[in-house]
Amino acid sequence: MDLLNTLVDKGLRRELPTRDEALAVLATSDDDVLDVVAAAGKVRRHWFGRRVKLNYLVNLKSGLCPEDCSYCSQRLGSKADILKYTWLKPDQASQAAAAGLAGGAKRVCLVASGRGPTDRDVDRVSDTIKAIKDQNEDVEVCACLGLLSDGQAERLREAGADAYNHNLNTSEGTYGDITTTHTYADRVDTVQKAHAAGLSACSGLIAGMGESDEDLVDVVYSLRELDPDSVPVNFLIPFEGTPLAKEWNLTPQRCLRILAMVRFVCPDVEVRIAGGREVHLRTMQPLALNLANSIFLGDYLTSEGQAGKADLEMIADAGFEVEGAGEVTLPEHRLTAGAGCGAHTEAGCGAHADAGCGSHEGGGVCGSVKVQAEQEQPAEARTDLVAVRRRGAGTDLAPNA
């Protein structure tokens, strides 16, 4: 049985692939990318049908962050020409959220720059959550406020938050190269705090920061071990004025392989295409819907996305449908306490498992899929596609939704 058939079978059983199998997905050639998409698409459709969940971002506070995350336009010392404003009032945030909900979003993600919230900030966000839910009883609300202190996750849950997002972003081994003002362990701790408080954990990664295939596999295996319900996959937007402005490492085919690898490793979780899809997937975005079952509608935190109407047309034209408010996103077994995503079945969590049947350093791969023998060519810099957000939250202009 070849590699892709093996991965499909494992995905349908929620069995963890070996590290070598995950690496082999990333190493497949562009000639085989449609085969990879078709295989991972079988897993996606098995667990999520043809539904696409829409999420909408509201940037509650933009810029002026004291952390030094190299990828971020809001970082300490950033020279990116982004919007900068302090906290939106609850009614302003609720009004911003309403635009996304009117466009079909099922979840609103409330994000604020900074190391982490003060207790006063938690009060402020709690008031915002209540304001949004007073107007839209069925909406899911996810908070993303940075590192949490003891008790803060519980307070957000009591206020009506359904989920908490805090991304691992990259592998533990290279995290210190990206950020120095907090640690990888700090991030893991916050995801665990959210999970323990009864919030749906949301944690993902950023691809395209110059990481190796091994780094990508490391972080995705670590995410599987943490067992979040949703895994957002961001593709680096190289903002001018940030340390990673020259990192153009992604092609549409590379992005598809990364999404497929995430789907195979985390078969039954909500895989979300997050920031950077317009910049790096470009006209291949519809293909990516065969791998991910969730996207952000409209704009992002500090960058503009494609028009919300275009997102909806893309979903329909690709043969998918927007997930309704009354539909349950996750498979039934994940809604049962303690069921998890199978992170500790047969193969174990595998976060630092041995290489398995071959090494990535030119060794053999278990399967018939052809792998690339040479380094991928650098992607073309598409700075024309990096548009700074100038509308929506923090402005007087109508949002994109």
Catalytic annotation present for 109: yes
**Catalytic residue, candidates 72, 144, 255, 341:** 72
- Is-catalytic flag, 144? no
Catalytic: which of 44, 124, 142, 263? 142
* Residues whose CB is less than 8 angstroms from the CB of residue 336 and which lie 6 or more positions away in sequence, other chains included: none
Please tell me which residue in 69, 144, 266, 341 is annotated as part of the active site: 69
Among candidate residues 213, 212, 206, the one with its CA nearest the CA of residue 170: 206
Q: Verify whether residue 142 is a known catalytic residue.
A: yes
Instruction: Name 338's bridge partners.
Output: none
151 Cβ contact partners less than 8 Å away, ≥ 6 residues apart:
none
Active site residue 366: no
Catalytic residue among 19, 51, 187, 272: 272
CB-count exposure of residue 1 (10 Å: 0-12, 13-18, 19+) = exposed
Q: Using H for helix, E for strand and C for coil, what is the string for 340-389?
A: CCCCCCCCCCCCCCCCCCCCCCCCCCCCCCCECCCCCCCCCCCHHHCCEC
Please identify which residue in the block is written with the tokens 């979003």: 105
Residue whose C-alpha is closest to residue 39's, from 233, 340, 257, 350: 257
Three-state SS at 287:
helix
Residue 223 contacts residue 203 (beta carbons within 8 Å): yes
**Residues forming a β-bridge with 165:** 202
**Which listed residue (109, 144, 266, 341) is catalytic?**
109
Active site residue 357: no
- Catalytic, 266? Answer no
Q: How far is residue 237 CA from its own chain's centroid? A: 13
Name the catalytic one among 75, 124, 187, 202: 202
136: nearest Cα among 152, 112, 153, 160: 160
Q: Is 202 a catalytic residue?
A: yes
Q: Could you list the active site residues?
A: 65, 69, 72, 109, 142, 202, 272
